[in-house]
Structure 1
Amino acid sequence: MANVFFSYSHEDEELRNRLEKHLALLKRQGLIEAWHDRRILAGSELDETISANLESADIILLLVSADFLASDYCYSREMGRAMERHAEGEAVVIPVILKPCDWHSAPFGKLLATPRDGKAVTSWANVEEALADVASHIRKRVEDANRKGGKPASAVPPQAVPANAAAAALSPASLRSSNLRLKQEFNEHDRDTFLHDGFELFAQFFEGSLGELKARNSGIQTTFRRIDANCFTATIYNGGKKVSECAIRIGGIGGRGITYSSDANPNGNSFNGSVSVESDDQGLYFSPMVFGFGEAEKRMTKEAAAEHFWATLIRPLQ
């Protein structure tokens, strides 16, 4: 079994959670055991536990974003040691590009990054497809090592770690509950940040999806217009004829949501559906208000909410 270590910024925790779900089958098949800092038990020494798990990892996933590159802990401590172990043949480092950023000149820039072609996860028309591509690369690495009768890393003996750190590293792999999440609280700043970050993701998602739709289908033309910080429009043409359009804005009931209008007029006030920012004791999420949008999940990630709106725009062509 290969030990997989997630090195990531907490700003990207939502995407890390989604990637971990894509690795669930590998875990069920006994091929990997995944570890990240949310598995640290209360009372454990943080730095020692993280270091011990980093030292024992066979595969180290660098979840790359601007936040990751800006984090001294992620970049200098985790990534620095990960690259040393990679160079020594003790572990395999796999960069996972989560969001567009200037990463090519980083020490890991020489490595083959995932998803395919190093295209950031959030730049794909379908985020789930991107994460599935990452999971397939990890599976190939693990299965290739198994065919050769070893782990993904070479057989170089791992460096010794302090006894108490090694003991801490064993704790997550021992018999334990999976119910380890703690109650969280969110304030208005947290909700507003989630809303505006979500809107920016929506804009990138639609611009990327429109471009990919046009590239894949002859006769299709698309238009993406960023009106301002709170609104953008999208239009799809087939053979020069407008077949679907929308305007997406920050607003809705209470002003803490994102609305979808089937009219691309940027000055309009009506909308056909919306998602609002909600929270529970585990996290922030979008909750849809459905006006003829069909079935929808009640608790959506930013990516799922963007996909929900996109499905409405493209439906007339399907």
Structure 2
Amino acid sequence: MTTLFFSYSHKDEALRNELEAHLGLLLQQGHIEVWHDRRIGAGDEIDTAIDAQLEAADIILLLISSDFIKSTYCYSKEMQRAVERHEAGEARVVPVILRPCDWHSAPFGTLLAVPRDGRAVTLWPNQDEAFADVAAQIRRLVGTPTSTKKAVPAARAPARLPVAADEGSAMNAVAGAASLPRSSNLRLKQEFTERDRHQFVRATFEYICRFFQGSLQELQARNPQLESNFEQVDSRRMAAMLYRNGKTIAQCSIRIDGFGREDGIAYSTDTSTERGSYNELLSIDVTDQAMHMKSSMSMGWSAGQRDANLSQEGTAEALWGMFIRNAQI
């Protein structure tokens, strides 16, 4: 059985939970055993337990984000030792890019990162596809063990002086049951409050605004005959127009609107459309671990987008596709 070690920032715990869920079939089939700091028992020496498992792991997953890189413990302790073991041929290090950040010049920057092309999980329109890609690549690795090293029991690992850690790093582990065997499947359903949902919709709308601004600027830079207007009318509504030689070829308005129910994202193909009408409405869809956006009407969507749980970028990309379609005819 191949042992996987998760090195991650606690600020990315929800994403780690989703990845672990996607590794569920490998776990059920008995191909892998996973370990992370949430399995440290009450009264165990935190450093000692982490060191022992890091030394015993066959595959070390570095869950990369700006918080991982900022963390002294994750970056300077766990990552440095993981790379040493990788270079010695004792283990395989796999960088898993969770969120966009400056990582290419890091010591692991020369390693092939996952998901595919090193594209951060949060940038995929459907994050399940990203995690499925990671799981598939780990499955291929499991068939080729890189280490014959025996597992080292935590109790026999050499003691070390405690090391101060950043907030959200492995040092802030939550105690569990001590010394007894237990499942690694300890995920619990996440509860999202109304405020969480409202903030998610607002953050998604703000991302869409930035996405449209950037896309219009790039489109105009590449096509001198094009001009564009972008206007964020207020904190809940934006409008975009695209012109070719002064003639309108695409326009839309996007706003936060709930129509008397929970807020969602409404898209209209006309900048003058009044509140209450729309061509597409996206609402929140909640899984056990995260919030996503989902189309309520699926007009003009691709097969992959129609029923998908969309990330913020996935939502923006889908709405941009609807906007630009008329200009591409």
Normalising by the smaller structure, the TM-score range is: 0.5 to 0.7
Residue 157 of structure 1 deviates from its aligned partner by 5.6
2:85 maps to amino acid: R
| Cα distance in 1 between the residues matched to 2:45 and 2:281 | 41
1:105 maps to amino acid: S
Q: Is the 8 A contact 2:41 2:178 kept in 1?
A: no
Residue 62 of structure 1 deviates from its aligned partner by 1.1
* Aligned-residue CA RMSD (Å): 5.1
Q: Secondary structure at the match of 1:68?
A: helix
Name the residue aligned to 1:219.
Answer: none
- Map Cα deviations across residues 180-211 of structure 1 (whole Å, 9 max, x no partner): 638868695x566544544456668889999x
Q: 1:178 to 1:200 in 2, by over 3 A?
A: same
Q: 1:207 to 1:285 in 2, by over 3 A?
A: same
Alignment of 1:130-209 (within 5 A): 130-143=130-143, 145=144, 151-153=145-147, 155-156=148-149, 161-163=154-156, 171-172=181-182, 176=183, 178=185, 181=188, 188=195, 194-199=200-205
Q: Which of 246, 260, 265 is the aligned partner of 1:259?
A: 265
The yes-or-no answer on 1:306 pairing with 2:315 is yes
| Cα distance in 2 between the residues matched to 1:157 and 1:46 | 21
Alignment of 1:8-47 (within 5 A): 8-38=8-38, 40=39, 43=42, 45=44, 47=46
| Greater fraction helix | 1
Residue 36 of structure 1 deviates from its aligned partner by 2.9
Q: Is the 8 A contact 2:257 2:266 kept in 1?
A: no
Q: 1:252 to 1:105 in 2, by over 3 A?
A: same
TM-score norm. by structure 1 comes to 0.64
Alignment of 1:239-250 (within 5 A): 247-250=253-256
Residue 168 of structure 1 deviates from its aligned partner by 5.9
Q: 1:186 to 1:290 in 2, by over 3 A?
A: closer
| Cα distance in 2 between the residues matched to 1:197 and 1:165 | 46
- Map Cα deviations across residues 223-271 of structure 1 (whole Å, 9 max, x no partner): 99865476566899xxxxx999754434546998441223352885344
Unaligned runs of 5+ in 2: 160-176, 217-226, 243-247
TM-score norm. by structure 2 comes to 0.63
Residue 304 of structure 1 deviates from its aligned partner by 10
Name the residue aligned to 2:166.
Answer: none
Alignment of 1:12-161 (within 5 A): 12-38=12-38, 40=39, 43=42, 45=44, 47=46, 48-143=48-143, 145=144, 151-153=145-147, 155-156=148-149, 161=154
Unaligned runs of 5+ in 1: 146-150, 211-222, 237-241
Residue 120 of structure 1 deviates from its aligned partner by 2.1
Q: Is the 8 A contact 1:246 1:261 kept in 2?
A: yes
| Cα distance in 1 between the residues matched to 2:68 and 2:187 | 24
| Cα distance in 2 between the residues matched to 1:29 and 1:192 | 40
Structure having the higher Rg:
2
What fraction of aligned residue pairs are identical, expressed as a percent?
42
| Cα distance in 2 between the residues matched to 1:266 and 1:225 | 14
Q: 1:200 to 1:290 in 2, by over 3 A?
A: same
| Cα distance in 1 between the residues matched to 2:319 and 2:251 | 10
Residue 140 of structure 1 deviates from its aligned partner by 1.3
| Cα distance in 2 between the residues matched to 1:4 and 1:208 | 39
Length, aligned pairs only = 294
| Cα distance in 2 between the residues matched to 1:226 and 1:66 | 30
- Map Cα deviations across residues 89-123 of structure 1 (whole Å, 9 max, x no partner): 22211011122211011111011111222222233
